[in-house]
Each structure stands twice: as C-alpha cells, then as structure tokens.
Structure 1
Amino acid sequence: MATQQPPLVPLGEDAGDGAMQHSPWRKRASLSSIADRAEGFLGRSGFDRGPWIAVALAAGIGTWFAAPDAAWWVGSMAAGLMAALGAQAVWKGRDDRAQIVLAITACGLVFAFGVGLAWARSGMVGTEALDRPVFENVRGRVLERIEQPAEDRVRLVLATRLPEREDALKVRINVPLAEDDAGLREGALVEAQVRLMPPASPMLPGGYDFARTAWFEGYAATGSVQGDIAVLDPPAADDALIAPLQRRLSTHVRNRLDGSAGAIAAAFASGDRGAITEGDQEAMRDAGLTHLLSISGLHVSAVIAATYFLAVKLLALWPWLTLRIRLPLVAAGMAALTGIAYTLLTGAEVPTVRSCIGALLVLVALALGREPLSLRMVAVAAAVVLLLWPESLVGPSFQMSFSAVIAIVALHNAAPVRNFLAPREESWLVRAGRRSAMLLVTGLIIELALMPIVLFHFHRAGVYGAFANVVAIPLVTFVSMPLIATALALDVVGLGAPVWWLEGKSLELLLGIAHFTSSQPGAVKLIPQMDLATVMLFVCGGLWLALWRGRMRLLGFLPAMLGTVLVLLTPVPDLLVSGDGRHVAITGEDDRLLVLRDTRSDFTRDNLMELAGTTGEAVTLAEWPGATCSPDFCVVTLQRAGRDWHVLMSRSRDIVGERALAAACERADIVVSDRWLPRSCAPRWLRADGRMLAETGGLAINLTQQEIATVAQRQGHHGWWRGYR
C-alpha cells in the first residue's frame, strides 16, 4: 500500500508565509514587553524629565570632548536624532507609551543638541595657539588685570598683534610687582619686550590641560615681561567699572586685616584670591576646605539669605507698607538684586553664576509658595550654565559645584532625612544635636560625592574634610561672612575696627582648623592615575542614586563599587616622561621619587609628584647609587615582573658619536631623549625621543603590564592639541 504524501506547497505560499511571519511577530512581542517594563519602571521610579534633560545636555557636550574626531561627533548627533525619531515612529499615538516616548525623544534631541553646541562653541571662540615660542616687542591694549601679590606678580591680558599672525591676538603676560605701574589698568595701551609661549598641553597623562582652557579663553600665548613695561596711553576713567571696584574692595579689606586672615577676608568679600599664600592654599585643600575660598553656593546663599531676612524684618516695621504689599515678594526682589551684584563683583565665575541662578530660583519658589529645594532647580541652573559656557562641563569647578549641590538636594529630599529633620516638641539642645548630626552626615555625603572628581583632576583629596567642614561651614556662614558685611558697613562712618578684629580672629580659627586637619596622619589620599571610564562609573552611579526614587535607585551603588575596585587596582606608573622629554621620573625604587633632572619649576615638580602618587622628596639619578650617569646619559636597571629593564636617558644636547649611541641603544630596553635620535638607535622595546613625543605628548609607562599611556590618547582631533595640528 502506497504511503500518502502530503500535498506540495509552492515556495512563497502558505508554508513560506507562515515561516516568514513568525519571526516579526515574535520580535514585536518582545519589543512590546521591553517597552511595558520600561514604561512601568519610569512610572514607579519617579521619572522627572527636567533633571534628565539636563543630564542629556551634559552627556552630549561631554561626548564631543571625549570623542576623537568629526566623524564621531556627526555619528553621535545622528544617534541622538535616530533615537528620537525611532521612538516617535514606533510608539507615536500610544497613550500607554507616553512616558517612554517622551523620555527617549527629549533626551535624544537634547543629546544631539549638546554635541552640536560644544562643537559650535569651540569653532566660535577657540583661538589657535602660536606655533612656537617668540621673543617680541609687543604693543597692546590691556583687557584685564589680575593681581597676585602672593606670587609677587601682576597678570595682564592684552589684545595685540604679532608679525607672524595677521589676526589680533589675546595674550596673557606676567609682570613682576617691581615693574607694576598705576597706569597698568583696563583700557591702557602698553608696550614691552615679552617672551611668549604657546599654552601648554598636559605635561603627563592625566595632568592639567591648560591648552584646552586657553583655547576657550581665547589665549594665543602666555608669557612674561623681559625688562620694563611702558604705558603709552593711560586708561580712560570709564573703561572699566567692576574690575576696579573689585580691586579697591580687596585692597581695602587687606588694609584693615593683615596677613593670611586679610587675604582670605578679601577672597570672601571680592573673590580676589591672589593674596592667599601657597601654604594656606595647600592646607585648605588638604583639609577639604578649598570650596570656602571660591565664591560659590555657600557665600552667595549666605548673602542672599541675609538680605532676604533683613529686608523682611525691617520692612515689617512699617505698618503702612505691610498692609499694602506682600513683604516676601519685595524681600525676594531685594535679595535677588543683592545676589546679582555680589556675583558680578566677585568675578561671575561658574560656581558663582550657578549659585546665583539657583538662589534666584529659590527666591521665586519662596515668593510663589512652592518647594524651593528640588533637583529641577539644579537642572535649570546647570542648563543655563552649559548653554552659556558648554566648556565648563569638563572643568573641576562645574563638576564639583553641581555634584555637591545634587548630593545635598537628593539627601534632604530623601524620606528618612525629612522625617529626621521634621519639627517636633523638643528642647533646643536636642534640636541642635540633630542639626549638628545632619550637618556631619551632609559633609560626609558631599565628601563621598566629590572625592572621585577631586582625585581625577588633582590626584589627591583630603580625607577628613567632612569633620573639618562641620565646624568651618557654620563658622564662615554665621560668623565670618556677617562680620565682613558689618565691618564694611561700619567703615563708612569709621567704626569698623572692632569688628575687623573679631573677623580676624574668626579667620585665624578657620586657618587653624585647616592646618591642624591637613597635618594629621593619613589626611591626604593620593591616586596618581584615574582614567575617564573609571570616573564616569562614579558619575553614573551618583546620578542614578540622585534622580530615581524607590529601591531601584540603589542600583547606583553597583557602578560606584566597580569604580572603587578599579581605582584600588590601578597601578602606579613605573616611568613618567614629560612631553618635551626633558623630565623623567621613576617610582618604586625608593621611598623617594627618582628624577632625571632637578628643576626649579614648581609646576613640573608638582606634576611629577602628584602623578607618581608621592609626597616625599625627589632625588636626581646622578645622586642615586643605583644609577650610572655621565654628562650626556644616565643608565638605570629596573626589576619589574621578574625581568630587568635597562633604561637609557639623555641629559645633554651635546653631539654624541652615532656608533657609540647605537651600541648604547642596542643594550637598552627603553631610550628616552628630548632630541630626535637617528634610526640606528634601536632599543629592544621603546624609543621615546623628540620625534615620537611630539606626536604622543607625555608618557606614563607600566613595565609590569607593558602598557604605555599617552597624552594624545585623550586629545583627539580637537583644535587645542598641537600634536593634531
């Protein structure tokens, strides 16, 4: 009996159609399930589009700085636009997808806008640096005067022209105090012999990038006056208003208070930090109190809050006015004007502008009876600053300022903290105890939020800052700042001397706290190397903790914990080579840092110390018994990972025979030189000569893992990187 065969189905009909249709339905169901989960998550976790739009703007700007070239920038913008268009195409008109459509569309568009904003800002304000150092007789108009008596100098920003450039340039020059003149003010036309240098790129991987800062500030060169400086045309009386007022206020304060206390009082009153000595700045930094020296949220908030309080109390003494207008509204207006004036007077830097915007939003909320302390307020302030100065995102000032504020707002909006601080029937002693405990907790949270950023930029952080701030912040807010305002007011009638004496004692106490805290064992934590990926783990974890609600926010601890592990596992480089090849530092051979050359440059020495993760003294290789040095070269053998590394380093620019040099290079694993070496110099592993370093910049070499980090790896094709040009 023949077996009955199933009917044949032509290819492309029923059987084929079923096979073709099964996969798209499965994909659509899977996509719908993911969307359902995302929609539910956004609803449960309190999605607030205001803060996340600010995060998307910052992410777009940061992507432009991190991505290497125009292809990446265009691709990033396209990705943001495609995400927004894709959300609209897939879920448009679906009421059950409103949250996810809004989130993806808004964040995608703003992300793309952020990339384009940073790109456009760089193109509009970026100034190409000089190609080489020059020694010229320049004539220029003074645009800005920066007094730095602690450094025994005055800095002038000039608008000038140079023979090798057709366009007008902005340069910054240092003038010794001995050459200072009363006519060196904004608007004056001056002439001097100057030595100008292109703004310096990072000396080592992870170092300070002054070339990037100068690009956005518009500086084509920086340098110093060689000899006398002549005033050809004195400034007009009305050429500047804010800067002379700031200087007169700073000088007046320093005349009323001597020494370090006067320098810090001048910083509080006018934002002028030029008179603060290096020792006091280091003590404040290592004690975690540097934020008190920069006019930021603490100072602006204190000024605005004091003005608001006094305005309400004094206006309430006038019954006729009290019955006819809303006093909080008038007081808010007066406080706003005071805050704006104080911001302009103290230089209108990023932390001050951010603080002023935030404080104005708080005043508006108070006048309208709304909740003043919210992340939306922080988001608006961040968006305004980024729209005006997108380059501020990559600077420590912006990052530290907003990290601290976000940490404070997120902490105080948490339900346990609200319950802990809620009013209740209790004695003033118990209330003060709760407030003090909350101040300590707030300080700890701020320290934790700031530490990754501080370590990333400065490679060192004060460990005991939270404890120092418990005393220092109330001291500055409720004692030092009010005393300065009172003393200045009484100086109008010549009665400020007693108040200035009290102010001096309060600032001496502040400095005593800083020096005591910074001198304690383990007060400073050094992290020589932290890459961008590691610090971004901390940033993403912190934002996740701050911007979500419920248990899902706790997932933010995961990237922070991973970042902590990576930081702890990051090794200290064995060799550090500066971008010009003149300076080499070796770690791990001694408690001290071994250096090829001694240097009188504080900048060079500090860079080598910080990026080597040491605070000890440095010793030259010529003085170290483990090295062999001649007038031309130093040779040292390093033992790493079970093998010997022979390092040859040039010390002079004298002519050396090619055969002798080739033989020495053949015996070495690594050769470092500030000159261009011939091809016959062929070491076994690395030749870091002038030719290579001109392209890579400074090097951080890990011999155990045989890894080389370069400055160029973080630069890309941005205009400020000379290796690209």
Structure 2
Amino acid sequence: MPETPTDVRQRSAEHVAWEPAPADRPIAFVSPETRRRAKFLFPAMPSRSRWLAKIRPQPRTWPDRFRASWEEETAFGHPFLFLPLLIALGAILWFSARDPPGVLILTVLSCVFCIASIALLSRPGLLCAGIIVATSLLLGATFAAFETEGSPTILLDSPVTTTLTGRILSREISGRNAYRYIVALQRTEAPTLRRPPATLTLMVRNGGPANVGETIRGRARLSPPSGPALAGLNDFGFDSFFKGIGAVGYAYGKPEILSGAGSKSAGQGSAIDTAWAGLAVWREAIGIRIRATIPGDAGAIAAALVTAEERAIGRDSITALRNSGLGHVLAISGMNMVLAAGTLLVGLRTGLSLVPGLAHRVPIKKIAAAGALVMVCFYILISGGAVSAVRSWIMIVIMLVAVFFDRPSISLRNVAMAALVILTVDPSAVSGPGFQMSFAATLALVAGYARWRERKATAGRRSGNDRFAGIRSFLAGLFLSSLMGGVSTMIYSAAHFNQLPAYGLLGNMLAMPVIGIVVMPAGLIAMLLMPFGLDTLPLNVMGYGIEVMLAVARFVSSLGGQVSTGRLPQSAFALIAIGGVVCCLLRTRLALAGLGLVAAGLCIAFLAPSERPALVIAEDGRLAALIDGTAGASNRSRPPAFIYGQWTRALRLESHVAPISRADLALPEPPAQEPAPTAETRRRPAFPTAAARASLQRLIGEGTPGRFSCVPDQWCATTSREGWVIVTVEDRRLIGSACDVADIVVTSANPVFSTCRSGALLASARMLRRTGALELYADPAMPGGRRIVPAMEGLSRPWQRHRAYDWRRDAYDDDAPSSEGSVEPITDEES
C-alpha cells in the first residue's frame, strides 16, 4: 500500500528524533531527503537553518565550516566534476608551452602519479587531493601530447603557385557561382612540392561545380594557414593542424575534371572514404532540396541548421545575426541537437502514450529515448561531422543513454562524463571557443535548471492551483535560460572574439521561442518526411519561422551592434572562467570562492592598463598600420578585412585613415639592359640610388605625419608620433634606398640581406615568417627606443614547425635569423 501523509510524518519524526552530536564528534551529514522532509514537517518555520541547528551543531571556526561544506560536497560526489576542468587545464598548459615535455616523459609521470593516487584514495586529506590534482593535470598534458604526436598533418611551408591534381572529398556552396572544395592532394607539378600537404581547401569561382569523388586538375595558388593576427589572438595554423588541413588556396579559372577518373579514384579509397563520400553527396542533395524549397537567405539558414553549410548565407544576414547575439544558431551546437532530440523525444513519447494500455506494458520513455538517439546519430552524419557537432552529439548521447538506466538525463555528472570523453579523444578542442562556449553554456543551464527545479517544486506546493503558474514558469524559464546562456559565454566571446553583442539577451529572448517552437520542430518533421516527398509544407513553415528570426535579428541589430572589449589579460580570462565553473559545480558556501575568482578577474580586466602599440605589421609584410588612440592609419586604402578586422576588435579601433596617393612621385622604370636579360639573369634593372632616395625624402617630407603617403606599386612612407620614419616597400629594388632613409622598413620580399647597414629595423618576409605579426611599442629603455612583441615565440611546436622549413635545402633552418642584427649585414647595393 502507498504511504499516507501521516505515515510519512511519523517516519520522518522518528528519523530526526535523536540527540545532537557532541562537539568533538565528526559532524553528521544531513541528506537532501532529510532536508526536504524537515521543510515538509515544519512549513511555518521561516527557514531550515534553525531546525538544522537542532540536529547538527553549526561549526564556529572557518576551518570547521570549510570542512563541513567540503564533506557535504563530497557526499554529493562533486569532486568528480572537477576532473574535466583539471584535465582541460593540463592540456591547455601543454599546448601553450614553448618547449613542452615529450610523450615518453609525460606517460611515465602520469603512470607514477596514477599509482600514487590509487594508493592514497583510502586516506583522504590534503596530500591525496594534491596528488589527484597533479595526476589530472598530467593526464591532460599526456592526452595533448599523444594527439599532437599522432597527427599526420603536413602544413605547407610557404605560398606557392602550382598545378595540382586531387580528389574532391566534399564541397560547399560559397556565394554566387563559387564553391569551396576539400581536396585530397595526389600530385603537384611546376613546381613539384617537396612537402605536399595531404588535404587542402580550394576555392573555385566562375566555374561549373565538380562532383564529390571526382579528380580535378588545375593551376592554383596555395598558402599555409595563417598564424595569429596579433599576439594572443587565434592561431589558425593550430586549428588547421588538428583538422588535417595543410593548405588553403584558390584556383585560377575552372579546374579540369579528368575524364573517367572520378569513379576510379573514388573506388580506390578505403571503405570509410567511400562511405564519407556517399554521405557528402547525400548531405549536398539535402541542402539543395532545402534551398530550392525555401528561397533567399531563409533557405540558406535552413540548410545550415541541417547540413552546417553556412557559406551560402548573405553577408548582411550573418552580420545581423551576430550583432543580435544569434550567431550561435547557425552552428550545429548543443542547442540545435537538444531541440531536435527533445522534440522527437516528447513527440514520440506523447504519441505512444495515446495508445490505450501501452504505457502500462512497455517503457515508452525508453522507446522514445531510443528514437531520439537514432535521430541524433543521423543528424551528426548529415551535418558533416564538424568538431562542434561531434561534441554536442557526445553530450546528447550520454544524456539519452542515461534514460535507459533510469538515471537523470540532465545532470552535472553527465556533462562531466561528456567532457571527459571529448578531452580523451580530442584534447586540442579545449583551446577553441567552440568547446569552451558550448560547455560553459551547458554547465550554466544544467546547474541553473537543478536549482530552478528545486525552487519550482517549493513554489508549486505553496501556490496551489494557480491558473497562471504555467505561463509565468514558461516566461521565467525563457528569461533565465537566455540570461544564463548569455552571461556564461560572455567571457569567452570577449576573450576569443574581443567583442560582445550589445543586445544579445533581448535577441535571444525574442527569437528563441520561434526557434524552439517553430523552426526546429518543422525542420525535424521535414527531414522525416523528405524520403517520401512530403517535406514541402514543413519546410515552408520552417522558412516562415526563419524569416521571423531574421526580422528579430535585424531589429535588434539596428539598436546597436557589437561592443568592443579589446584583448583581455590572460590572467583575467583564466580567473573569470575558472570562477564561473566553480560557481556552477558547487552548491554550498564554497561556491563563494568562485565568485571571488570572478571578482578578481574582473578587477584585473578593468584595472589593467590598455596599452596600444604604436605600429602593427601583418605576418605577410603587405599590411602595416599606425595606431593613434582609436584610429588606425594603414598603407592600404582597403585593407584586408580578415586581418584588419581582427586588429580593429583587439585594439578597439573606431576609424580607419586611408593613405594619400602620390603617383606624381613615382620613379620611372629604368631602361632595359642591352643585351636583353637571359633566363639566368632574370632581373629588372635597378633604380638609380640617388633618385630613389630623393623621391623617398620628398614623400616623407611632404606627407602628413601619422598618415601614409603611397606611390602605387613602389612604396609608402610616413612619420609616427614617436618620430619613427616608416617605409613599406612593394618593389624589392627599393629596399636598399629605404634602409638608408627610414627607421623601420617593412616588405613582403626576401632580400639577400637580413638587416640594414644603417641599423634600421628590416621586417622582411624571412623575419616575419619566423615571428609572425609584430607589434612595436615605444620604450626608451629598449634598443632603438622600440619594444617588439612577436605573435609567435619559437617554432618548436608542430603547428609552427613548417615556418622553419627551407625548400631550397629540403631541411629545417633552425639557425635562421629571427630578429634584427643576427647576421652580418650586406651592402644595400647588393640587393
């Protein structure tokens, strides 16, 4: 027989009727069930603290309070939740180290500390806790070292134009009549690369598409993945190394499709490659079907929600979504999978419950969970298997599998298990914004949901029959979920993208109901009906919902765009991020320690001096900019958006000062040599040194300080507020004259000398290849009054090692100069 309320009260009273423990006896732990019963027995009491004081004496000293709180956290199993955090920190420390230890050393140390941790588990204390922390950090570093050592990626060493032959692995529409291919490189000609990458991305414009599995051949310009635009910014070489992409490039014209080679090449691969090629064709067909049914950007966004193809979306729509805080909708993230899996889970369970007597005979909840599990597996296949999608898939799979074992599907333990799986398989993901933002949002939502569920249960008993309770609960849940998701990812958005959406909370509150109620359910129904040709109606409903979402994004974006935060100090980012995790993982007063870390990080972020460099130089030597307050004066009228956009966000620039054109100071081309130069002496005649110096001095003297004056295709010059004379050279024949006049010379060429005889700083392609982008600060204590901050320090790490390769000698040039003054200078006339 079920217990009556009277039986529950009597049993609960018997359970709590015992004498308080003496002061010298260890503090007894009070289970959550006892707390709940106590509140049920004494509803008139304003709080539970007085009743708990009767059954458990409160500790009076801080050590006792800390010990009591830690015992309560341990009883709930919360120490386990910190293992992913410690392993992630170990991986980050290894990736960020200049000369990290090798795999063998880390493996031996990890084994030793694991044995010590197991031996000390029976004797808990500070020593045991310290050993476990050290073991977790070592495991994270070991996982990172193993992944790096096992990566077969070969990064292209320098830009090159070559004729390539390769097999198409996948393709994606990238704007009007343009395609982006992922190509498995098979052969290169004219020239033949000595270190060819295995896989590359190739952009093809104004040409008919080639099918997946076909072999193409054509002339292309290939470049290695770019490094950080400034020190502390995202290293795209790191991302490409672990994604297996060794080069990026674009084709000259339409590549030739080798007749009869498509099917043969596709068949020569392994069974896994053939299966992936088939999935890529299937995925592309789904995207084409969606875009054909839903016109415009709404169709491109709908295809992106299903297949992760975002390049067909218009730039204006992407800008509106990002400025309104809805850019996360485009990624196949945890939100998309949760909405899709939740829709199928609830819908299938509701449909099965309508069958009379079925719910009493079979576990319909587990059947619905199995259906949702099959659906998310199908979703990850058609989405292309992106890294962010795989992380979300692992998390959803663990939560659905928990249903089979009658465990809570939404819990911090499941989030921790998903993080452990990802860190073991793909530890490099921990340093990217995708992993950090997705798990931060998930952690905040799960922790907030647990506390909200407790308060909701209490409020439900107090409110009784309230007809508006459901509406208030829905609105409150929407507001709190948007608030927690936005606040928890703010620090990562500021650290990785250096900006925050001004009205992101408003955009999410207005758009998320439409996405969760209309867009994702309609998309799920469309995918289920597409094999039968009945997907037109649900796709149209999905398109209408996306149009509403775009209208909301444009409205919110019109209120204000992104708020620039600039580069955050690494210490501030670490303190705020770790403090936020501690707040979510702990439930006692120890969570206040997390708030303390967050407060300390905010103080460092606000009080740290925001020093801007006087001059920034891109790693290719083609772009340089003077920084004066919030204005940037570059040597390009239209600087590359990819690089200059990162400078704008990191340095909080508000305006761009274009250079002044001085075509009247162009040096005339010297007469050709007699006889004409042969193939062995293929050099253009040099400019007269005196005329070049005179022209440069006029260019500097007649120019405006703090603004570049440029002679097209020859050079640009200016004088900074620090008094530096800066010259950027495009024609390599003018480097020697620039060295004689300027203090800083920037060029994308490789002169035969590595330094200027005048002592000027020569930032040539050879130097920038090893240092990456440069920042120059005025510092009287440094030589030349300049402090140089490179974007990269050392080239020992595998994703930077290719920069030290010399293709002429087919060897790594570890002794190459990395800064000025390291090689005997050569006279300028020899250039």
TM-score (norm 1): 0.84
Q: 2:282 corresponds to which residue? A: 245
Per-residue displacement from partner, 1:91-136 (whole Å, max 9, x unpaired)?
x48x5x4265654444433322221221121121142322222222
- CA deviation after TM superposition for structure 1 residue 453, in Å: 1.1
Q: What do you get for the CA RMSD once the two structures are aligned?
A: 3.4
Contact residue 229 and residue 618 of structure 2 kept, 8 A? yes
2:761 corresponds to 1:696: no
2:728 corresponds to 1:650: yes
Task: For 2:257, give the aligned amino acid.
Answer: V
Q: CA, structure 1 residues 131+371, in 2 after alignment: closer, same or farther (shift >3 Å)?
A: closer
- CA deviation after TM superposition for structure 1 residue 496, in Å: 5.0
Q: 1:313 aligns with which of 346, 350, 367?
A: 350
SS at match of 2:460: coil
- CA deviation after TM superposition for structure 1 residue 39, in Å: 6.3
Contact residue 158 and residue 223 of structure 2 kept, 8 A? yes
SS at match of 1:565: helix
Q: 1:429 corresponds to which residue? A: 468
Q: 1:7 corresponds to which residue? A: none
2:608 corresponds to 1:580: no
2:797 corresponds to 1:717: yes
Contact residue 68 and residue 718 of structure 1 kept, 8 A? no
Q: CA, structure 1 residues 64+255, in 2 after alignment: closer, same or farther (shift >3 Å)?
A: same
1:219 and 1:127 map into 2 onto residues whose CA distance is 7
- CA deviation after TM superposition for structure 1 residue 511, in Å: 0.8
Q: 1:286 corresponds to which residue? A: 323
TM-score (norm 2): 0.74
Contact residue 580 and residue 690 of structure 1 kept, 8 A? yes
2:138 corresponds to 1:63: no
Q: 2:80 aligns with which of 50, 74, 77?
A: 50
Contact residue 727 and residue 738 of structure 2 kept, 8 A? no
Q: Which moved more, 1:131-140 or 1:42-51?
A: 42-51
- CA deviation after TM superposition for structure 1 residue 251, in Å: 0.8
- CA deviation after TM superposition for structure 1 residue 402, in Å: 0.6
Task: For 1:394, give the aligned amino acid.
Answer: S
Per-residue displacement from partner, 1:181-231 (whole Å, max 9, x unpaired)?
3xx233222222222222222233234322112211222322122233222
2:553 and 2:653 map into 1 onto residues whose CA distance is 21
Q: 2:644 aligns with which of 605, 617, 632?
A: 605
Q: 2:585 aligns with which of 547, 556, 566?
A: 547
- CA deviation after TM superposition for structure 1 residue 168, in Å: 7.1
Task: For 2:99, give the aligned amino acid.
Answer: D
Contact residue 81 and residue 112 of structure 1 kept, 8 A? no
Contact residue 84 and residue 109 of structure 1 kept, 8 A? yes
Q: 2:511 corresponds to which residue? A: 472
Task: For 1:556, give the aligned amino acid.
Answer: G
1:379-394 mapped onto 2 (5 Å cutoff)? 379-394=416-431
- CA deviation after TM superposition for structure 1 residue 490, in Å: 5.6
Q: 1:682 corresponds to which residue? A: 759
Per-residue displacement from partner, 1:410-444 (whole Å, max 9, x unpaired)?
22233796348853435343432243233223322
Q: 1:518 aligns with which of 546, 550, 557?
A: 557
1:437 and 1:313 map into 2 onto residues whose CA distance is 25
1:373-412 mapped onto 2 (5 Å cutoff)? 373-412=410-449
1:250-289 mapped onto 2 (5 Å cutoff)? 250-289=287-326
Name stretches of at least 5 consecutive residues in structure 2 with no aligned partner: 1-60, 268-273, 663-702, 781-785, 806-831
Q: 2:741 corresponds to which residue? A: 664
Per-residue displacement from partner, 1:250-281 (whole Å, max 9, x unpaired)?
11111111001111111123222221112211
Task: For 1:575, give the aligned amino acid.
Answer: L
Contact residue 261 and residue 504 of structure 1 kept, 8 A? yes
Q: CA, structure 1 residues 702+185, in 2 after alignment: closer, same or farther (shift >3 Å)?
A: same
Q: 1:234 aligns with which of 241, 262, 278?
A: 262
2:394 and 2:460 map into 1 onto residues whose CA distance is 29
- CA deviation after TM superposition for structure 1 residue 447, in Å: 1.9
Contact residue 224 and residue 247 of structure 2 kept, 8 A? yes
Aligned pairs, number: 674
Per-residue displacement from partner, 1:643-701 (whole Å, max 9, x unpaired)?
x332412233243485x645523xx4x55444556432324xx6544454233211223
- CA deviation after TM superposition for structure 1 residue 475, in Å: 1.1
Q: 2:679 corresponds to which residue? A: none
SS at match of 2:172: strand
1:319-338 mapped onto 2 (5 Å cutoff)? 319=356, 321-338=358-375
Q: 2:200 corresponds to which residue? A: 171
Q: Which moved more, 1:195-204 or 1:507-516?
A: 195-204
1:307 and 1:87 map into 2 onto residues whose CA distance is 43
1:621 and 1:206 map into 2 onto residues whose CA distance is 32
1:134 and 1:687 map into 2 onto residues whose CA distance is 23
SS at match of 2:153: coil
Contact residue 143 and residue 159 of structure 1 kept, 8 A? no
SS at match of 2:252: strand
Q: 1:131 corresponds to which residue? A: 157
1:505 and 1:637 map into 2 onto residues whose CA distance is 56
SS at match of 2:468: helix
Name stretches of at least 5 consecutive residues in structure 1 with no aligned partner: 1-32
Q: 1:190 corresponds to which residue? A: 216
Q: CA, structure 1 residues 160+450, in 2 after alignment: closer, same or farther (shift >3 Å)?
A: same
Q: CA, structure 1 residues 364+215, in 2 after alignment: closer, same or farther (shift >3 Å)?
A: closer
Q: 1:112 corresponds to which residue? A: 138
Q: CA, structure 1 residues 657+379, in 2 after alignment: closer, same or farther (shift >3 Å)?
A: closer
- CA deviation after TM superposition for structure 1 residue 407, in Å: 1.2
1:38 and 1:102 map into 2 onto residues whose CA distance is 17
SS at match of 1:470: helix
Q: 2:601 corresponds to which residue? A: 563
- CA deviation after TM superposition for structure 1 residue 35, in Å: 11
Q: 1:593 corresponds to which residue? A: 632
Identity of aligned residues (%): 25
2:382 and 2:803 map into 1 onto residues whose CA distance is 39
Q: CA, structure 1 residues 532+77, in 2 after alignment: closer, same or farther (shift >3 Å)?
A: farther
Q: CA, structure 1 residues 709+545, in 2 after alignment: closer, same or farther (shift >3 Å)?
A: farther
Q: CA, structure 1 residues 606+657, in 2 after alignment: closer, same or farther (shift >3 Å)?
A: closer
Task: For 1:696, give the aligned amino acid.
Answer: T
Q: CA, structure 1 residues 73+671, in 2 after alignment: closer, same or farther (shift >3 Å)?
A: farther
1:514 and 1:574 map into 2 onto residues whose CA distance is 37
Q: Which moved more, 1:194-203 or 1:146-155?
A: 146-155
Q: 2:391 aligns with which of 340, 346, 354?
A: 354
SS at match of 2:227: coil
Q: CA, structure 1 residues 130+508, in 2 after alignment: closer, same or farther (shift >3 Å)?
A: same
Q: CA, structure 1 residues 721+208, in 2 after alignment: closer, same or farther (shift >3 Å)?
A: farther
2:249 and 2:739 map into 1 onto residues whose CA distance is 39
- CA deviation after TM superposition for structure 1 residue 376, in Å: 1.0
SS at match of 2:491: helix
Per-residue displacement from partner, 1:371-412 (whole Å, max 9, x unpaired)?
322211111111112222221111111111111111112222
Contact residue 84 and residue 104 of structure 1 kept, 8 A? no
1:298 and 1:579 map into 2 onto residues whose CA distance is 37
Task: For 2:483, give the aligned amino acid.
Answer: L
2:197 and 2:223 map into 1 onto residues whose CA distance is 16
1:714 and 1:621 map into 2 onto residues whose CA distance is 37
Task: For 2:593, give the aligned amino acid.
Answer: L
1:606-645 mapped onto 2 (5 Å cutoff)? 606-620=645-659, 622=661, 625-626=704-705, 627=707, 629=709, 631=711, 634-639=716-721, 644-645=722-723
2:708 and 2:306 map into 1 onto residues whose CA distance is 55
